[in-house]
Amino acid sequence: MELKEKLIIITGGCQGLGRAMAEYLAGKGANLALLDLNQEKLDQAVAACEALGVKARAYLCNVANEEQVVDTVSKVAEDFGAIHGLVNNAGILRDGLLVKVKDGEMTKLSLAQWQAVIDVNLTGVFLCTREVAAKMIEQKSQGAIINISSISRAGNIGQTNYSAAKAGVAAATVTWARELARYGIRVAGVAPGFIETEMTGSMRPEALDKMTSAIPLKRMGRPDEIAHSVAYILENDYFSGRILELDGAMRI
Ligand code: NAD
């Protein structure tokens, strides 16, 4: 797909990887609809895209809220017309061991921690994909949907909730690629390793150092390197149903 003047929706588009993707795709001439929870940061991201000469709009939308997702996708279609792509990028962390015993005291991963991550990282991806796919089919618009999974989908200590959600996203990617191919919609994923963003910036420095030294390329990835992969998938019309792993050769 040639990206010039195509409309791509990015969830979690106001910071981190989402914002890097927005600017990268804007640089290729794509118009952007950015969904996130923070109006001020959304406005800054929109301005950065517009400065690259494309149309961009901000939408306050919680991807885990069905009504908001349904309304927002309709609004995007009213504002821009045909939708050609979606990047399901919004995500959160609520790390914790399943059961932890320290100084004789036991703590458990709470149901709230589990549910918050499943709601955003898995249910949010389902809701956005369902609504965007339905709209694209209605519009007879072809394109691609990209889900941001993670290296942690293979299972990672302290990430029961996150790993489960990211594995679910990877499995759903294959399912949706098979189901939606008949409508000319490709579905694929990117599984980043450790990338320099606010999300990893919030990790404990010791944990971050340990992680970096375990990466064969001995550095974290950069947001523009993930954005590059997203652009590649959008542009390559034969890429579907697969997860592109971008992790500096580090595999959990
Ligand atoms: P980030 O925290 O910097 O950005 C995530 C964005 O998602 C934020 O702008 C946040 O406001 C938004 N968001 C969170 N909950 C939302 C909701 N309910 N509705 C709408 N927006 C919501 O994180 P990031 O590092 O840029 O991560 C982006 C994606 O990449 C996530 O799915 C994350 O799991 C994945 N990922 C990141 C890394 C990494 O190393 N940074 C590695 C693997 C996967």
pLDDT tens per residue, range 91-144: 999 999 999 999 999 999 999 999 999 999 999 999 999 999 999 999 999 999
| % of the chain residues with pLDDT over 90 | 93
Interatomic CA distance for residues 192 and 119, integer angstroms: 20
Residue 161 Cβ < 6 Å to ligand 1: no
Interatomic CA distance for residues 79 and 58, integer angstroms: 11
Shortest CA distance to 190 belongs to which of 248, 154, 233, 152? 233
The pLDDT of residue 211 is: 84
Interatomic CA distance for residues 162 and 153, integer angstroms: 8
User: What is the phi/psi pair of residue 122, to 5°?
Assistant: -120, -55
Q: Among 11, 14, 17, name the best residue to mutate to test ligand 1's pocket (greatest count of ligand atoms within 8 A of Cβ).
A: 17
Q: How confident is the model at residue 202 (pLDDT cuts 50, 70, 90)?
A: confident
Interatomic CA distance for residues 179 and 236, integer angstroms: 19
Q: Is the dihedral of CA 12, 80, 40, 49 positive or negative?
A: positive
Q: Among 129, 197, 226, 246, name the best residue to mutate to test ligand 1's pocket (greatest count of ligand atoms within 8 A of Cβ).
A: 197
Is 183 annotated in the active site?
Answer: no
Model confidence over 47-95: pLDDT tens digits? 999 999 999 999 999 999 999 999 999 999 999 999 999 999 999 999 9
Model confidence over 137-164: pLDDT tens digits? 999 999 999 999 999 999 999 999 999 9
5: left (phi > 0), else alpha (psi -120 to 50), else beta? Answer: left
Distance 197 CA to ligand 1 centre (A): 9
Mean pLDDT of the chain: 97
Q: CB-hemisphere CA count at 13 Å for 79?
A: 18
How confident is the model over 202-215, as a mean pLDDT?
A: 87
Length of the chain in terms of residues written: 252
The answer, yes or no, to whether residue 43 has pLDDT greater than 80, is yes
Q: Is 85 helix (H, G, I), strand (E, B) or coil?
A: strand
The answer, yes or no, to whether residue 183 has pLDDT greater than 90, is yes
The residue annotated as part of the active site, out of 162, 183, 232, 238, is: 162
The answer, yes or no, to whether residue 216 has pLDDT greater than 80, is yes
DSSP string, 221-250: B-HHHHHHHHHHHHH-TT--S-EEEESTT-
Q: How confident is the model at residue 36 (pLDDT cuts 50, 70, 90)?
A: very high
How confident is the model over 200-225, as a mean pLDDT?
A: 90
Identify how many contiguous H helices and E strands the chain contains and give both numbers: 9, 9
